[in-house]
Amino acid sequence: MPGERASINLKRPDAEIEIGGEQFALRQFSSVAWRREQYTAVNQEAYRLYKQLSQDFADLTYGTIPLLPLMQRHLTETFVAAFTQVAALQAFLADVRPTTILAADEQTAVFTHIAAQRVPYNPTIQIVRKQRPFISAKRIAESIVRNILYLPRIRHLRTQKPPIPAPSPTRPRLLFHPYYPNHLPSFLPLIEKLKANGRFDIWVSGADTNTLRQGDIDPTPLAALNIPYLPFETAVSWPNLLRSMARATRLAATMGKALRRNGRWQTLSLDQPLRPLAKMALVDLLETRLPKILLYLDLADALYQTLRPDLVIVTDETLPILGRVTVRTAQKRRIPTLTLQHGLLLDDPMYFGPTVADRFAVWGTFSHDFLVANGCPPQKLALVGSSRFSLPDASLAPLDLCAQLNLPDTTRVILFTSQPGGRDVSPQANLATFTALATAVNQLPHCHLLVKPHPAQTDSELDTWRQASPAASVTFQRNLPLHAAMRGAAVNVTVFSTTGLEALWLDCPLLTINLTDRPDLIPYAASGAAVAAYTAEEVLPALRQALDPAYQQARAEARRRFVESYLGMQDGRSLDRLVTLVEEMVS
């Protein structure tokens, strides 16, 4: 193939390549093992580029608040996707070395140019279709329109806003921010404990807007505690909202003019080949994210000006925009901030850098050591354990899955807690995982596969799964008491889900199946706490191993160590330590 002319289109689902009239997928030019080896290097390069941009564009601020750190996840995700394709292009170019490359668009050309320099060799790269203008007024207008669509909801809230209770002049005021529906259950044990304490005024303000795809937050549990739930827009006025949108338009235009100046990019610390890539990412930030960020900043500022809390408490500040927005806005008003760990911190700099909040309450030593290794000052961290997973309920009876599914009593039920096809597990890998597991279960006597789909999994994806394995002994159930079902299952199976940690916490056998292009995101198997399969052929022997009672018992100590490292001390006192931390921060 050397010397051939190649056409590349990275926008196609399989990153399509055409050589001599024949079609190839980009992934065909590298192995799964090679792609897994590249994963860590790709993430580290993406995070380095994000940090460089944050330094070089530190002057992109809204008042005193720097804008790029609010977008850490979005920028690094963009860079991870870019460098993943660059690495795959590198493998292709090293193998084929075409003399001429027809790039479908400017982005494909940029990625191909970076990959060619790393091979290294110098092909002729031609762009088939030119990129849209650097700053697209249409895209900015679309973002503004999306914000304007919130106006009817704000108008509705202006007439039906919940009353803000008058705070006590002596009690400290605590403001909790659950910005996803699944955050409120994480807060509730602490809220209940603080409410029973009687020393605090407690408010909960959710990002109860249509900006969140996950839907609105259900405040019903708070009503039982007589704790007011205040929508995020509670303190905003109609004129201020319109002014915020106008500011977004002006600031985006001003930033666009500055970024169009070639002189600015020539003085950056970035390597020359990476500048076009970084430029594209910032364009996306300006066109699709900035108006929303500025709206959130104004909503948060109005809320804090009205409530004047003594402590703002959030969860996982890096992942959603709102986490960083609330923390930065509170700090601008000199309000102390506390982040509570909500889920596992993955050993992946795309997700977590140094915490922005004043304190971060972490579960176990793994999270503590990981954050310190990624630049977080140790004095910011408080090792408190997990209030959600503090001590398993010894009275929790295993669910009789055979009776639930009308199966013979001798049936061994394998519980698969699945994940939605997406970034962490592609739809193709997801389907391959289910098919391999269903096939393995079907080959074992007296076994049945029970799938508890992830809440975000669509019915269409599950229909595809059913069609892929019609003869298998499989049942799908969305509504299932998870912990009781885990205790009733012979083996629990997952890919990367934190349900694997819950299974280990309950001292249940765990099998992980990783048929993706990336290494395990959570080292269940590497720690010795779980059995693992990394190819479809390995699933059946791994499942046999996981079903062996002697093998399960041999891993009991590894399960205990893993739980203690990730969830912290299992002494039932996590809530007490959290309350002490809150009292220290407001004293």
Q: What is the pLDDT of residues 236-271, one digit of tens each?
A: 776 777 777 777 777 777 776 677 666 677 777 788
Rounded to 10 deg, the angle between the 459-468 and 427-442 helix axes is 40
Instruction: Tell which CATH architecture fits domain 401-567.
Output: 3-Layer(aba) Sandwich (3.40)
Residue pair 418/452 in contact by the 8 Å Cβ criterion: yes
With cut-offs at 50, 70 and 90, classify the pLDDT of residue 295.
confident
SS3 57: coil
What is the pTM (predicted TM-score) of this model?
A: 0.86
Residue pair 61/68 in contact by the 8 Å Cβ criterion: no
User: Which amino acid type is present at position 291?
Assistant: P
Domain ranges (residues) in the chain: 5-127, 401-567
Q: What is the pLDDT of residue 352?
A: 61
pLDDT digits (tens, 9 = 90+) for 342-360: 888 876 655 666 688 999 9
Contacts of 584 (CB under 8 A, 6+ apart): none
pLDDT greater than 60 at residue 135:
no
Instruction: Decide: residue 521, CB within 10 A, 0-12 exposed, 13-18 middle, 19+ buried.
Output: buried
Angle CA 46–47–53, to nearest 5: 90
Q: What is the pLDDT of residue 504?
A: 96
Report CA-CA distances (Å) from 454 to 167, 190, 193, 495: 40, 26, 30, 12
Q: What is the pLDDT of residue 214?
A: 40
Report the DSSP pairing between strands 381-383 and 474-476.
unpaired
With cut-offs at 50, 70 and 90, classify the pLDDT of residue 579.
very high
Beta-bridge mates of residue 339: 314, 360
With cut-offs at 50, 70 and 90, classify the pLDDT of residue 13.
low
Q: What is the pLDDT of residue 385?
A: 93
The C-alpha atoms of residue 70 and residue 37 are separated, in whole angstroms, by 30
With cut-offs at 50, 70 and 90, classify the pLDDT of residue 19.
confident
Phi/psi for 510 (5° steps) reads -130, 135
- The region, left, alpha or beta by phi > 0 then psi within -120 to 50, assigned to residue 242 is alpha
Q: pLDDT averaged over the chain? A: 85
Angle CA 19–77–465, to nearest 5: 70
E strands, 308-426, in order: 311-315, 337-340, 359-362, 381-383, 412-417
